C-alpha cells in the first residue's frame, strides 16, 4: 500500500491570493481587456485561466493602449516602469505583494543612507528586476555564497544587504554568513526578507521528505519558490520532481515508492494538487495523510485603487 503525505501549508500564499483576487475584481469591474505587466503570478494554469477571461499579459508597456486598465503583478516593478505607466495615462492597479513592497522600501531607505546594497537573489527574476530599479547605481546582485569572495564593492564600511522574498532559506543564510564574515559591519534589514509562506513550505518539505521515497512539487518551472522546494528535497537525497500537472508525472519516478510526499509552490492552485492526489490514489490505491507544520492566517487587502472604486459603486447603488 502506497502512502501519500500531503503537506500543509502548500499552494497559494496571501500575496498570491491578493494578486489573483485583484485581477478577478479588475476584470469584473472594468470588463476585458485588462492588461497585466508580465505574469500575475508565476503559474501556467493561473495565467491561462485569466487569459481565457480576457486578461492580456505583456512584457512591455508599449503593448498596452494609452489609458487602458493595467495591473502590476505580485512581483513588483521598478520606479521607471511606474513613471512610464503614468506618462501613458494607464489606469494602474498595483497588485504587488506587500512583502515585496517592504523590500523595495528597505532598498530606498538604505540608498538614502548612502549604503551600497547587496541584493541576494536570482538574476532576471521579475522581483529582482523591480527591486534593483529602486537604486540601480547603488545595488549589486549576489546569487551565491561563492560570489562573495570576489565581490568588488566600494565603501566596504557602508554596506547593507537585502534578499529576494522567494529564496531558499538555507541558501540565503549561507550567503548572509559569508557576507558577514567578509564585511563584519554590513547592515541587515530590520526584519526577515524571505516571506513567511516561502519559509513554511520549505520547512514542511524538509520535515516530510525525511519520510518519503519521492517528493512531487506542483508548480511552474519559472516559479522560484516552487523550484526551491524540489531542490531542498533533492539536497536531502530524496528524488524530487517539479510538475505543472499530474499528467506530467512519469510513472517510472514512482517505481518501488512506498511513501510519496506532495506539496505545491505558493502560486500553484489547489485543484491542480487535488488532480495529482486523485491520479496517485487511482494508480496505487494509495492512502492520503494530510500533515501540517502550522496554520497560516495571513490576509492582504485588495489594492487601494480597487477598494475606493468598489466603495464608490456600493455607495451609488445604495442611493
Active site positions, annotated: 127
154: exposed, middle or buried (C-beta count within 10 Å: 0-12, 13-18, 19+)?
exposed
Cβ-contact 140, 181 below 8 angstroms: no
CA trace torsion 191, 194, 199, 201 (10° rounding): 150
Of the candidates 42, 8, 7, 1, the residue with the CA atom closest to the CA atom of residue 211: 7
SS3 309: helix
CA 33 centroid distance within chain: 25
Residues 6 or more apart from 48 whose CB is under 8 A from it?
Answer: none
User: What are the angstrom distances between the C-alpha of 81 and each of 72, 89, 109?
Assistant: 10, 12, 20
Cβ-contact 240, 42 below 8 angstroms: no
According to DSSP, residue 189 is labeled: P
| The total number of residues written for the chain in this structure | 319
Q: Residue 134's beta-bridge partner residues?
A: none
Cβ-contact 119, 163 below 8 angstroms: yes
CA angle 261, 266, 51 (to 5 degrees): 120
Cβ-contact 75, 130 below 8 angstroms: yes
Cβ-contact 103, 131 below 8 angstroms: yes
Cβ-contact 294, 43 below 8 angstroms: no
Amino acid at each position: 500500500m502506497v502512502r501519500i503525505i500531503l503537506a500543509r501549508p502548500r499552494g497559494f500564499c496571501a500575496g498570491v491570493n491578493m494578486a489573483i483576487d485583484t485581477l478577478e475584481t479588475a476584470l469584473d469591474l472594468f470588463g476585458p481587456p485588462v492588461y497585466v505587466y508580465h505574469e500575475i503570478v508565476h503559474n501556467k494554469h493561473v495565467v491561462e485561466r485569466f487569459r481565457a477571461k480576457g486578461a492580456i499579459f505583456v512584457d512591455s508597456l508599449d503593448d498596452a493602449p494609452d489609458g487602458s486598465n493595467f495591473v502590476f503583478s505580485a512581483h513588483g516593478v521598478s520606479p521607471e516602469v511606474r513613471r512610464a505607466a503614468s506618462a501613458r495615462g494607464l489606469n494602474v492597479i498595483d497588485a504587488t505583494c506587500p512583502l515585496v513592497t517592504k523590500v523595495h522600501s528597505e532598498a530606498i531607505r538604505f540608498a538614502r543612507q548612502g549604503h551600497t546594497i547587496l541584493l541576494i537573489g536570482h538574476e532576471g527574476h521579475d522581483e529582482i528586476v523591480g527591486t534593483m530599479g529602486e537604486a540601480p547605481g547603488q545595488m549589486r546582485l549576489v546569487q551565491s555564497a561563492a560570489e562573495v569572495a570576489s565581490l568588488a564593492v566600494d565603501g566596504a564600511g557602508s554596506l547593507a544587504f537585502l534578499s529576494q522574498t522567494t529564496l531558499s532559506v538555507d541558501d540565503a543564510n549561507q550567503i548572509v554568513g559569508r557576507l558577514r564574515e567578509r564585511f563584519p559591519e554590513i547592515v541587515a534589514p530590520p526584519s526577515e526578507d524571505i516571506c513567511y509562506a516561502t519559509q513554511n513550505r520549505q520547512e514542511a518539505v524538509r520535515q516530510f521528505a525525511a519520510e518519503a521515497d519521492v517528493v512531487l512539487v506542483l508548480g511552474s518551472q519559472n516559479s522560484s519558490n516552487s523550484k526551491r522546494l524540489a531542490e531542498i528535497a533533492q539536497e536531502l537525497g530524496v528524488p524530487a520532481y517539479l510538475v505543472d500537472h499530474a499528467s506530467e508525472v512519469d510513472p517510472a519516478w514512482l517505481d518501488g515508492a512506498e511513501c510519496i510526499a506532495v506539496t505545491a509552490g505558493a502560486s500553484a492552485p489547489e485543484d491542480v494538487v487535488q488532480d495529482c492526489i486523485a491520479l496517485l490514489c487511482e494508480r496505487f490505491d494509495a492512502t492520503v495523510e494530510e500533515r501540517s507544520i502550522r496554520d497560516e492566517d495571513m490576509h492582504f487587502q485588495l489594492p487601494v485603487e480597487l477598494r475606493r472604486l468598489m466603495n464608490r459603486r456600493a455607495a451609488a447603488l445604495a442611493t
